[in-house]
Amino acid sequence: MGRRPRAVRLAIPAAFVAVLTFVALWRVGAPAVPASGSSSPAPEPLAALTQVAEVLADNSIGRRASLEKVVVKEVASPRTFWIGTGDERVFVVLDPDVKNPSKAPLTTGSTVTLIGLVRAAPTEDQAIKQWALDPATAKTVRQRGTYLHVTEIRPASQ
């Protein structure tokens, strides 16, 4: 008796693998479709924070913020300043690549619109190194717990 042709020797294991694959896929089945016929919608992103007080909340870290017509209360360094009043003061840090169409330098009393992200305040040493702050300002920022990292700044009239 002669040897089987090569095609027959390869076809038997291939058929076996095909049958096992079919059985596995049959057992898994198709994904379930909700009764309404449409897939469940993705959760909507949280709305941007629009009030200075909202930025100060502990649960605001990681959220977008869009603060319109805020007044610069005090400039702490070339990239940092305070907005708000009294206990509702927010520390603001401008991104090195901030979008600033007016190119006007920030001064105390300027009214601006700020768009950015709320972030957790760094340690005092990091704040001093990153933003050239004095120790007292760095301590205050750390105690507040959050700051606004601004990626876009516009004059309030736009």
Taking only the tens place, the pLDDT of each residue in 113-131 is: 999 999 999 999 999 999 9
Distance CA 129, CA 123 (A): 10
pLDDT in tens, 38-64: 566 777 777 888 888 888 887 889 999
Confidence class for position 138, pLDDT limits 50, 70, 90? very high
What is the residue-averaged pLDDT of the chain? 84
Q: What is the pLDDT of residue 49?
A: 82
7 has pLDDT over 90:
no
- Assign domain 52-155 to a CATH class: mainly beta
Give this prediction's pTM: 0.69
Q: With b meaning 16 or more CB within 10 Å and e meaning fewer, what string describes 99-124?
A: ebeeeeebeeebebbbbbbbeebbeb
CB neighbour list of residue 148: distance below 8 Å, 6 or more residues apart:
55, 65, 67, 83, 90, 91, 92, 93, 114, 116, 117, 118, 119
Strand partners, 67: 114
Q: What is the pLDDT of residue 12?
A: 83
Q: What is the pLDDT of residue 40?
A: 64
* Single-letter residue type at 127: A
Distance CA 21, CA 43 (A): 35
